Amino acid sequence: MNDFCLRRCLYKCTINLTPLASVSSKFVHSVLGNSGMRQAFLWITLVTLSSCQWFDTEKISSETFYEEELKAIDWEDVDQYPTFKDCDHITEKEAQKQCFETTLATPIYRTISSKKLVTHHDLNDTVWVRFSITKEGAFSNVETEMDSALQVQIPLLESWIRQSMDSLPKMAPAYKRGIPVETRFGLPIVVKTEKAKG
């Protein structure tokens, strides 16, 4: 009686765990016998329970995916540099950068050259203009770094640089993956005096 109950229990469990609903217990019992039935049940249960792990897929939330993507992006390198209207037609990245820097530096050099400076010593120095361009395409955090001797010789140089930058036309911001981003730049301005002729 106990053996019959055990077989009946094993049969019910097998039916619930596997798609063997159409297999009759007499057929399984006649083919496998008592020990074979137990081994088959054990094997089917083992396969059923362990096979679920083979098909598990890891669900990733959109927030987790977004955070992982943000970590993978190199934010120091932009896809498109900030552009002035004159540079809109340029598609190559390096050419965009060159056009941007030229458009930015030209008015600064023009302003300095127009001032007819007279200095007591020959000058050959570099002024670094560091600035950010916001997501809206505006200048911010403009800083100038220059030698103290140059600052003494040309005290208005910093204000002339800022005036030149303020006179520039509106620009489009830099883009990374289609998103406008703030970027930081450094522009070298070479100040060199020439000896007066004659």
| Residue 89 shares a structural domain with residue 183 | yes
Supply the range of the domain harboring residue 148: 83-192
| Residue 90 shares a structural domain with residue 188 | yes
Dihedrals φ, ψ of 191, to 5°?
-110, 115
Instruction: Determine whether 61 is exposed, middle or buried from the number of CB atoms within 10 Å of its CB (0-12, 13-18, 19+).
Output: exposed
What tokens appear for 173 in the block? 């911001």
Does residue 70 form part of some domain?
Answer: no
pTM of full prediction above 0.85: no
pLDDT digits (tens, 9 = 90+) for 104-147: 889 988 888 888 777 777 778 899 999 999 999 988 888 999 88
What tokens appear for 118 in the block? 């007279």
Count of domains forming the chain: 2
Does residue 38 form part of some domain?
Answer: yes
d(CA 109, CA 102): 10
| Residue 102 shares a structural domain with residue 14 | no
| Residue 128 shares a structural domain with residue 184 | yes
Does residue 50 form part of some domain?
Answer: yes
The parts of the chain modelled with pLDDT lower than 70 are 1-37, 46-61, 65-66, 69-76, 195-198
CATH of the domain at 162: 3.30.1150
Does residue 198 form part of some domain?
Answer: no
